[in-house]
Structure 1
């Protein structure tokens, strides 16, 4: 089974060290996490680093869409990891989007890891906000931060975290950087973190939403 140990580095993008060890006699607690995000943001790279050879690739039941799932041992937990299809929205009706929306909203994994591309942050955050609207516990993996910096894009991670109201961890998945910090934050959220606070859209927008909701309910 794959066990993760912290490195000696303390920066947000410190590398993760992996070793294989024999699991002790104690039955580990279990968690389910889902990796969700746009296509080509590094979700599968993170999935492969986390699960290594402990993964299974098949199809979603009754669907032709690939399903990747695996396991890892971290912090006393046995963690099931699901790599959801890469999508750009939860509000359209492609098969991939329906699968992701149903898994997140109905299956309710313990934590959703929203992987975003730091070099295309604005486009990626549309999906992030949709996840927040579902009220799920989540952590944002700000991936490809090195690519963003090479392009002259400098992201204030602390400010982004305050604006979103959810934890944000900078990663460079292709170099296995920041993944230990990411998993530590996932456990922190799973054990005691709260779901994102309800989004506020301003008084006028919320008044119109309330009026529409009442109209639909009254119909």
Structure 2
């Protein structure tokens, strides 16, 4: 449904070196200013422009590889998405390094806001022999996927059209979710029930996302839950969940969550991407060269056998 005030706020997310700043400059031109995010010295770039009758404000979020609470940049990006609730998030992805970049996508998607993927540097991916079926990838992820070439200003119109269409009409696609398994579902549902007893404390947060973060022992979420009227019960339940899941999987739950996300990404990419014959030969030739090398051959062979 269209906004009555005809204004849109867009958050621009992405990994470092994904071309995010170039796309920000393409969209906003000279209509931008630089300040700092509240309470920190991290630079905040904000730009404005008009498109299809809308006044669009774009916030260039700090480049991050994830939305974990391990760095100031990650916390800023996450808090902006949760608290400011932009109308749309554009996730800029380096198409030539798609699997690593999609890890951030899975985390943003779990927050439940409208999301558009810009597969940037799509020309470099193609030139390197990586073929991407953008329509099929969109279907698998349940998200709009737009190929772009930021340094040539290509795909910007299509990207903006996808944003406006999402605002006006919503998405015909249902975002795909990472399946963590029935054991995780059992633990998160118990945490969700406890958190629901004080809904004001968790206002604005998705309970299932908070439950996962509690199992990951996320420091920022722990601070939030400490203000909950049932905080002690929640922390006790989360600790039991971590112990139980670790005993079941033989690894820290946070590591299992990461593995499941990458498994989901790998499955989608294996379905929607392929290598040209030339690239496959290049990879095969490189491996052959390393294996027959008089110095590197034995160590490389040993590593391959260990994997």
TM category (shorter chain) comes to 0.7 to 0.9
Gaps of 5+ in 1: 1-26
Q: Which protein has greater RCO, CA pairs closer than 8 Å, 6+ apart?
A: 1
The one-character-per-residue Cα deviations of 1:13-62 (angstroms, maximum 9, x if unpaired) are xxxxxxxxxxxxxx971000011010011110011011111000111111
Contact 1:136-1:196 at 8 Å conserved across structures? no
Aligned position for 2:37: 60
Alignment of 1:1-219 (within 5 A): 29-194=6-171, 196-197=174-175, 199-201=177-179, 205-216=180-191, 217=194, 219=237
Greater share of residues in strand:
1
Task: Spell out structure 1 runs of 4+ moving beyond 4 A.
Answer: none
Q: Could you tell me how far apart the structure 1 residues matched to 2:84 and 2:5 are?
A: 21
What is the count of residue pairs matched by the alignment?
A: 190
**How far apart, CA to CA, are the structure 1 residues paired with 2:97 and 2:75?**
24
Secondary structure at the aligned position of 2:92 is classed as strand
Structure 1 Cα separation of the partners of residues 30 and 53 of structure 2: 20
Report Cα offsets for 1:127-167 as digits up to 9, x if no partner.
11111111110100010001101111111101110010010
| Structure 2 Cα separation of the partners of residues 127 and 99 of structure 1 | 14
Instruction: Give 1:210 shift.
Output: 2.4
Which structure has the larger Rg over C-alpha atoms? 2
- Other structure's SS at 2:184 match: helix
Which of 76-85 and 28-37 deviates more? 28-37
Query: Could you tell me how far apart the structure 2 residues matched to 1:96 and 1:43 are?
Result: 15
CA shift for structure 1 position 196: 4.8
Q: Alignment partner of 1:154: what SS?
A: strand
Matched-pair contact (CA < 8 Å) for 2:141–2:176: no
Q: Contact 1:28/1:76 (CA < 8 Å) preserved in 2?
A: no
